[in-house]
Each structure stands twice: as structure tokens, then as C-alpha cells.
């Protein structure tokens, strides 16, 4: 029975990967996919500095992180001018806080010494496919606990990391 479950899970994973790559390879095929103008490539989560789960299984947590960021990038892609595409490769990710052993389970503790960091390479292309801007970004927010509107962190997962990206986007792509 376990082997059947593994095969089924593997088959679903292969199908999901196949559909995802097909829609990226042929963006005109699916109008919903063609509207996503930020394309994200992830490395192995185990190679990142700190994407450590606190109170849930590691694989589940990694899927939740990826899903949350991809939803954010999809929504944020509307900020790009029509026809532009931003390709991002996440090289390293260090979530805000640090996972420590609690009394009965691990918890992520937020202290100013455990600030969020994100490194990625990016390429911004125009509608004609010409590279408009490219480079590597190394973001960190050593003051993450002291910004205005930190209350929002309770409503939005990975708020601090997404806030860093918003600021980078505005400073680098909108103004730059």
C-alpha cells in the first residue's frame, strides 16, 4: 500500500511539473499563465541558509513557503509595465527569526539579531525580449522589527521577506 501511495504521489508530482513547465515554455497557450510576468526559479530549500520549519514537517513547510511567495510574486507582477517580464532565481533565503526548541515543540523566535535575508539573480526583459536590466540582489533588513505597520506581519505570511522585495523592486526597477 505504501508503494502505491508513493507511485501516486510521484505521478501527481510529475504531472504537476509537466504542466507547470509546459505553460512557461508556451505562455500563449494559457492566458492565465501569460499574465504572470514574474517567473521564479527555486533551488533546493535544504541548501538555503534558514528555511527551517518550526511546528510542521519540513516538506510541508517548504511547500507553504514556495506557495506563499509564488502567490505574492504573481500578484506583484501587475506592477511591471505591460510586456515586461522579470525572471528571478532565488539563490539564498534566510527567514526572519530563528527556530529554537520550545517546551513541547520548536518555535520561530523573532529577535533583531536574526534578520531576514534574500539573495537572487534577476533579469528584466522587455516585450521584444531585449534585456532591460539584470544583476544579483543581496537583500537584508537588520531593522525588520522596527518598521511602521509591523502589525501586518500577523495577517501575511513571510511579511518581512516580502517587504524587502517590495522595497528592492521600487528602488531598483521602478526608480532605477
Pair (87, 107) in one structural domain: yes
SS3 label, residue 89: strand
Residues of the chain above pLDDT 90, percent:
52
Pair (27, 98) in one structural domain: no
Where does the pLDDT of residue 14 fall: very low under 50, low under 70, confident under 90, or very high at 90 and above?
Answer: very low
Mind listing the pLDDT tens digit for each residue in 43-83? 999 999 999 988 889 999 999 999 999 999 998 899 999 99
CA 25 to CA 22: how far, in whole Å?
A: 5
- For residues 96-122, give the mean pLDDT: 90
pTM: 0.73
In the numeric block, which cell numbers belong to residue 89?
532565481
Query: Count of domains in the chain?
Result: 2
- Say what the pLDDT of residue 150 is: 54
- Say what the pLDDT of residue 109 is: 87
Where does the pLDDT of residue 105 fall: very low under 50, low under 70, confident under 90, or very high at 90 and above?
Answer: confident
Q: Under the phi-then-psi rule, with left for phi > 0, alpha for psi from -120 to 50, and beta for the rest, what region is 141?
A: beta
- Say what the pLDDT of residue 15 is: 33
Pair (14, 99) in one structural domain: no
- Say what the pLDDT of residue 115 is: 94
Q: List Cβ neighbours of 79 (8 Å cut-off, separation of 6 or more).
A: 169, 174
- For residues 116-129, give the mean pLDDT: 95
Question: Considering the chain, what is the average pLDDT of its residues?
Answer: 79
Q: Does residue 8 or residue 58 have the better pLDDT?
A: 58
- Domain containing residue 14: 1-34
- For residues 102-108, give the mean pLDDT: 82
Pair (15, 50) in one structural domain: no
Pair (99, 66) in one structural domain: yes
Amino acid at each position: 500500500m505504501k508503494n502505491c501511495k508513493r507511485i501516486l504521489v510521484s505521478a501527481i508530482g510529475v504531472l504537476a511539473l509537466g504542466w507547470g513547465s509546459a505553460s512557461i515554455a508556451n505562455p500563449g497557450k494559457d492566458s492565465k499563465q501569460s499574465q504572470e510576468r514574474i517567473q521564479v526559479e527555486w533551488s533546493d530549500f535544504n541548501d538555503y541558509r534558514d528555511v527551517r520549519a518550526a511546528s510542521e514537517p519540513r516538506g510541508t513547510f517548504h511547500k507553504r513557503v514556495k506557495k506563499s511567495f509564488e502567490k505574492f510574486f504573481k500578484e506583484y507582477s501587475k506592477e511591471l509595465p505591460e510586456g515586461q517580464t522579470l525572471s528571478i532565481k532565488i539563490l539564498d533565503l534566510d527567514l526572519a527569526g530563528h527556530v529554537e526548541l520550545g517546551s513541547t515543540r520548536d518555535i520561530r523566535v523573532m529577535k533583531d539579531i536574526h534578520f531576514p535575508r534574500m539573495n537572487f539573480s534577476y533579469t528584466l526583459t522587455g516585450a521584444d525580449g531585449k534585456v532591460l536590466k539584470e544583476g544579483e540582489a543581496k537583500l537584508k533588513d537588520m531593522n525588520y522589527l522596527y518598521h511602521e505597520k509591523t502589525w501586518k506581519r500577523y495577517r501575511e505570511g513571510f511579511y518581512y521577506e516580502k517587504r524587502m522585495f517590495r522595497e528592492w523592486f521600487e528602488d531598483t526597477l521602478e526608480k532605477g
